[in-house]
Structures are given as C-alpha cells and as structure tokens.
Amino acid sequence: MRKTLFSFSILVMTGIIFFSCSSSTEPKKEVKEVIAKLDDFKGYTSWTKVDTRFGPDPLLQTAHGVTDSLFRVVYVKDNVKPSSGKYPVGTMILKELRDANNKLQGAITVMVKRGGSFNPDGNGWEWFMTDTGLTTILSQGDNATAGGGMCASCHAGANTNNNGTDWVFNHP
C-alpha cells in the first residue's frame, strides 16, 4: 500500500513537473536574445534622446572621458522604458560625448539587453565601447570582460544610487 502511494505521488509529481515545463515552453512573443552588431548602432541620433549632462558627476569619477568641457548625451532605441525596474531584451542605450563645438569626443558606450543565457550576473546586459565613427568595437562583453570589468563594477551602483535601475543610471 505504502509502495502504491509512493508510486502514485511520483506520478503526480512527474505530472506537475511536466505540466509546468510544457507550459513554459509554449511559444511566447517576446524576443529571447538579441546579438547586437555595430550596424545596429548606426543612426542612433534618431533614437530618443533621454538625457544630456554636462560637467563632472561624482558617480562617474574619471570614466566616460568626463571633463568640464564635454557634455554627455544618452539615447534609447525605440524609447524603451523599464517595466517593474527591468528593461526588455533588445533594449539599446547609447551614450556619446561632445565638446562645445558639438564635435564627438572620446568613445561611444552602449548597453544592449542581450538576454538569453548571456551575462546572468548582469541581468543579460552586454556592454560595448566603440570609436566615435562606429567603425570599430573597442571593447565588448559581459560584467567580467567589458572594459576589463570596469563598466559593470561602476554601473552596479546604478542599482541603488541616482534613481538607477537595472544597471542603468539615467533611466527614462
């Protein structure tokens, strides 16, 4: 009797596991993974301009080529906004630096919500640094690799400071 009960519970458990697995594999509309290329960043000046900042910021320390004479502009592709504090897979946020003559300086930095199994420690973000002409990727990777780990170690502060969310400081 005990054996039958045991087998029965195993059967029920298997049923539950199978059911939950099968329901989670149902086709969903959302994108699973977005692997960005340089071309995806071209034309970013027509994305939504969400922020312009000028001058030093204590959170920046010496990153992003910040000096008194440069201003930083942040763009978001398709004006994507976070939902419950998280950006959807496919989100692209780009930041450039310009001087007083509106000339691009330094590097362009981009965050792409790549998703899938990428960078689970960093909510799936992929970090990029390119030249201002978007011809070369200077650095690319996950929390550990991009910018020698600097991008993520500093942006970790965005989860708690400056009204940041999901590794993003200036969230729209």
Residues that bind ligand HEC (CB under 6 A): 53, 57, 59-61, 63-64, 72, 74, 93-95, 109-111, 127-129, 139, 146-147, 150-151, 154-155, 158, 168-170
CB of 23 to ligand HEC, least distance (A): 35
In angstroms, the CA 111 to CA 147 distance is: 12
Please, which residue, 63 or 104, has the CB nearer to ligand HEC? 63
Please, which residue, 15 or 157, has the CB nearer to ligand HEC? 157
Please, which residue, 83 or 162, has the CB nearer to ligand HEC? 162
CB of 157 to ligand HEC, least distance (A): 7
Please, which residue, 95 or 113, has the CB nearer to ligand HEC? 95
Cβ-proximal residues to 163 (8 Å cutoff; 6+ apart), any chain:
171
| Cα three-residue angle 141-165-123, rounded to 5 degrees | 35
Residue 64 contacts residue 96 (beta carbons within 8 Å) = no
CB of 113 to ligand HEC, least distance (A): 11
Please, which residue, 105 or 170, has the CB nearer to ligand HEC? 170
Residue 157 contacts residue 59 (beta carbons within 8 Å) = yes
Residue 76 contacts residue 96 (beta carbons within 8 Å) = no
CB of 91 to ligand HEC, least distance (A): 10
Residue 97 contacts residue 113 (beta carbons within 8 Å) = no
In angstroms, the CA 97 to CA 73 distance is: 6
CB of 58 to ligand HEC, least distance (A): 8
